[in-house]
Amino acid sequence: MPELPEVQALADFLRTRTAGLAVVGVEIGSITVLKTFSPPPDALIGAPIDGVARFGKFIDLDCGGTHLVFHLARAGWLRWSDALSSTVIRPGKSPIALRVRLDDGSGFDLTEAGTKKRLAAYIVGSPEQVPGIATLGPDPLGAAFTEPQFAAILAGRRAQIKGVLRDQGTIAGIGNAYSDEILHVAKMSPFAIASSLDPTTVTRLYAATRETLTAAVAAASGKPAAELKDAKRAGMRVHGRTGATCPECGDVVREVSFADSSLQYCATCQTGGKPLADRRTSKFLK
């Protein structure tokens, strides 16, 4: 799933590539992708792209005051083309969920792998009309996201810190991958309870959050959309690296599996050497 760094890179790429262009076509290939019905897709045709912004994991294209907002979900992606095919996509007849054509012949497709179709697009008068944006927590790279604000957020949450970092209504933009990375840098167990963290630990976690995301944004910056997935995987310390060697201590990277996801961590760095319970095998390790 693309998270804050990749979504920021996509937004920056689109902002640069669409500057001065206008929309000349919007084609819907999936009946499930569009979550709004008014205004219709045709409302975007002829509109200049005045700006591109990121809200958490959402990308917003301001098309002359009408906004095309989309969320790539777990398996969605954006594919850019400098010269789009002239073939018009039809609902239910293409792997492409949504296509946007621009007046220089370029444009992009939104695609989604797998059978769980969660990619979502909205055409609205304002980004705040998108339910997922209206309920977002603060952006962890925003100037207003201070350590005291972070400490106050954690103090009010008696929940595992891994889940708190991933909760979009609490902090916007962090998902499964970067929460693993942040906790590894902070040397914290993903099962630690947020409200029980002492001030020193909160300071360490705040610094790890800002530093990890800032570095990932810098690493993704300037890369075309087609290279972002591989760049993300290559930059991971522990996430997705089960069985590999921890880059900090040389221990093995371990995994805890859940029904539809997993987390990775280093026991030596993060849990005092104690392996965490893996519910997939129902083994509660001592």
- Asked whether the predicted pLDDT for residue 281 surpasses 60, the reply is no
**Beta strands 262-266 and 49-55: pairing type?**
unpaired
CATH 3.20.190.10 domain span(s) along the chain: 4-134
Q: What percentage of the chain has pLDDT greater than the value 70?
A: 97
pLDDT digits (tens, 9 = 90+) for 236-247: 999 999 999 999
**Average pLDDT for residues 165-169, to the nearest whole number?**
97
Mean pLDDT value of segment 266-273: 97
Give the contacts of 145 (CB within 8 A, at least 6 positions apart): 138, 139, 210
Closest by Cα among 158, 141, 171, 162 to 238: 162
Distance of alpha carbon 253 from alpha carbon 189, whole angstroms: 13
Angle among Cα 173, 179, 181 to the nearest 5 degrees reads 120
Contact 230, 77 (CB under 8 A): no
- Rounded to whole angstroms, the Cα distance separating 68 from 129 reads 11
Q: Average the pLDDT over 32-37 and give the result.
A: 94
Region of residue 33 (phi > 0: left; psi between -120 and 50: alpha; otherwise: beta): alpha
Strand-pair partners of 122: 69
Tokens 């220089």 correspond to what residue? 104
Do the beta carbons of residue 126 and residue 68 sit within 8 Å? no
Extract long-range pairs of 239-244: CB within 8 Å, 24+ residues apart. Answer: 239/176, 239/177, 239/178, 239/180, 239/181, 239/263, 239/264, 240/177, 240/264
Q: Which helix (H) or strand (E) holds 210?
A: helix 199-220
pLDDT category at 147 given cuts 50, 70, 90 is very high
Using the predicted structure, report yes or no on whether residue 282 has a pLDDT greater than 60: no
Average pLDDT over residues 197-226: 96
Q: Is the pLDDT of residue 180 over 60?
A: yes
Return the pLDDT at 114: 75
Q: Which pTM was predicted?
A: 0.93
Phi, psi (degrees; rounded to nearest 5) at 22 = -130, 155
Average pLDDT over residues 152-172: 97
pLDDT at 191: 97
| Res 150: pLDDT | 98
Q: Tens digits of per-residue pLDDT, 35-55?
A: 999 999 999 999 999 999 999
Only one residue has tokens 């954690």, namely: 154
- CATH number of 147-270: 1.10.8.50, 3.40.50.150, 3.20.20.70, 2.70.70.10? 1.10.8.50
How many Å apart are CA 229 and CA 36, to the nearest integer? 29
What is the Cα–Cα distance from 79 to 49, expressed in whole angstroms?
18
Where in the sequence of the chain do the CATH 1.10.8.50 domains occur?
A: 147-270
Work out the pLDDT band at 283, boundaries 50, 70, 90.
very low
What's the angle, vertex CA 165, arms to CA 121 and CA 71, rounded to 5?
A: 5
Percent of the chain with pLDDT over 90: 87
Residue 261: predicted pLDDT: 87
Assess whether pLDDT exceeds 80 at residue 131: yes
Could you tell me which CATH class the domain 4-134 is placed in?
Answer: alpha beta
Residue 286 is predicted with a pLDDT of 37
What is the helix (H) or strand (E) element at residue 151, kind and residue range?
helix 147-155
Rama region for 36: left / alpha / beta (φ>0; ψ in -120 to 50; rest): beta
pLDDT of the residue at 285: 41
Residue 230 in tokens: 């591989």
